Amino acid sequence: MDFEASIAELQSRLRQHREILETEESAKTTLVLPFLRALGFDVFNPAEVKAEFTCDVGTKKGEKVDYALCVNGEVTVLVECKPVSSELSIKHASQLFRYFAATNARFSLLTNGVIYKFFTDSDKANMMDEAPFFTFNLDDYRKADLRNLSAFQKSEFDVERIVAQAGTLKLQSQVMTELKKEFDNPSDEFVRVIASRLHDGMLTKPVRDKYQAAISVGIETMIRQRIDERLQNAMARNDDPAPLAEPEPVASADEIETTPVEIDGFNIIRAICAKVVSPDRIIMRDAKSYCAVLLDDNNRKTVARMHFNSAKARYLGLFSGKDEEKKPVTGPIDIYQHADAIIARIQDLEANK
């Protein structure tokens, strides 16, 4: 069974048995161990999954974390489990904090079998962050969550790559949290910023209240419009009478999510293209299975495609006429190796206006 199917089956098990999963042990055996197994760890191999992992820390003797996951023989992930009914908070992670500093582990996982919170040391070396850089909800996840989770598969485990992306994921999560607060209930500071650009005179309470209401409605309208635009673009691509390749199936907004890696790749391609055309003509258009970079936002003028959704392999699609050739890359930085081909593509598109 493949990774996504294993997680989907585990979600079904959770929904079927949630009411009787009352203890920490039931969470471990029914959910956590199968979750680790779905990630490719041999839960029956004590050299790979160390249960009741003990490490004396200072004056604390004999304390244990539930599991230590080993990659290439090294303790890499510490796992602390709680009952399904527990609301996970930082107070549940005291052992993780101590063990993280005392071992060579680079990641910690706090879970109740439903919520999986991943931590690292992005703020201060060898000291576990207080906020997780990635949270996976087994009961409610999206395709993008599965892509992020897939990096923790044993076969794909790359410590440095995960650490490098952790800071971006954490910052993105923090920004989204703050934006959601502003969207739900615009703060006085946010209202003042917008009102100061549109209103002359004192910002009295009636004026502030008027702008606060207008901002809330404006944000909701903007979000709806963006969703409509993405759906219309998807349908337009699907209806294009002369696509470059097989038409991309129409996907819902939840299925299309632009990742930090794709954004990094787009910025590199745009920087390369800026040598021959204005950078504002280079547009990114994401789809379900790839992320396209277009000239003039025209899907007949594809500069390149980033096939970065798979955790196992990444490819950069380069074009000659209508034919796409996929070049393997390990990450966005490798795009620079194909700068000449990208510039040649731009020149070809410009010559055939």
pLDDT at position 253, please? 46
Angle between helices 159-184 and 260-273 (to 10 degrees): 100
In a domain, 171, yes or no: no
User: Is 349 in contact with 303 (CB distance < 8 Å)?
Assistant: yes
Shared-domain flag, residues 126 and 8: yes
Cα separation, 163 vs 173, in Å, equals: 15
Q: What angle do CA 53, 59, 62 make, to 5 degrees?
A: 25
User: CB atoms < 10 A from the CB of 116, how many?
Assistant: 24
Shared-domain flag, residues 154 and 9: yes
pLDDT at position 242, please? 40
The separation between CA 152 and the C-alpha centre of its own chain, rounded to angstroms, equals: 12
Q: What predicted TM-score, i.e. pTM, was given to this entire model? A: 0.56
- What lies within 8 Å, CB to CB, of 234 at 6+ separation is 248, 250, 251, 256, 287
Q: Where are the beta strands (DSSP E) in the chain?
A: 49-54, 64-71, 74-81, 107-111, 115-119, 134-137, 282-286, 291-295, 302-307, 314-320, 323-329
In a domain, 307, yes or no: yes
pLDDT tens for the chain, 353 residues long, are 588 899 999 999 998 888 888 888 988 999 999 999 999 999 999 999 999 888 655 555 667 888 999 998 888 999 999 989 888 877 777 778 887 877 888 899 999 999 999 999 888 887 888 888 899 999 988 888 898 898 899 988 888 888 877 877 777 777 888 888 888 788 888 888 888 888 888 888 888 888 888 887 777 777 777 766 666 665 555 554 444 444 444 444 455 677 888 888 999 999 999 999 998 899 998 887 889 999 988 888 999 999 988 766 789 999 987 788 999 998 899 999 999 999 999 999 988 86
Shared-domain flag, residues 294 and 233: no
Q: Both tokens of residue 319?
A: 């074009």
Q: Both tokens of residue 1?
A: 């069974």
The separation between CA 37 and the C-alpha centre of its own chain, rounded to angstroms, equals: 21
pLDDT at position 295, please? 92
State in Å, rounded, how far the first CA of the chain is from the last one.
Answer: 49
Q: Which phi and psi angles does 91 have, rounded to 5°?
A: -70, -20
Q: Both tokens of residue 132?
A: 């997780």
Nearest-CA neighbor of 77 among 26, 113, 111, 27? 111
Q: Single out the residue in 159, 193, 208 at which a domain terminates.
A: 159
Which residue type, as a one-letter code, is found at position 89? S
Nearest-CA neighbor of 284 among 233, 335, 321, 245? 233
Shared-domain flag, residues 65 and 148: yes
Q: Both tokens of residue 140?
A: 């409610």
Domain of 15 in residue numbering reads as 3-159
**DSSP 8-state assignment for residue 143:** H
pLDDT at position 306, please? 93
Shared-domain flag, residues 146 and 39: yes
- For 144-149, the CB contacts below 8 A with 24+ separation are 144/257, 144/259, 146/3, 146/4, 146/7, 147/259, 147/309, 147/311, 149/7, 149/39, 149/116
In a domain, 278, yes or no: yes
Shared-domain flag, residues 297 and 338: yes
Shared-domain flag, residues 40 and 153: yes
Cα atoms in the 13 Å half-sphere on the side-chain side of 235: 6
Q: Count of domains in the chain? A: 3
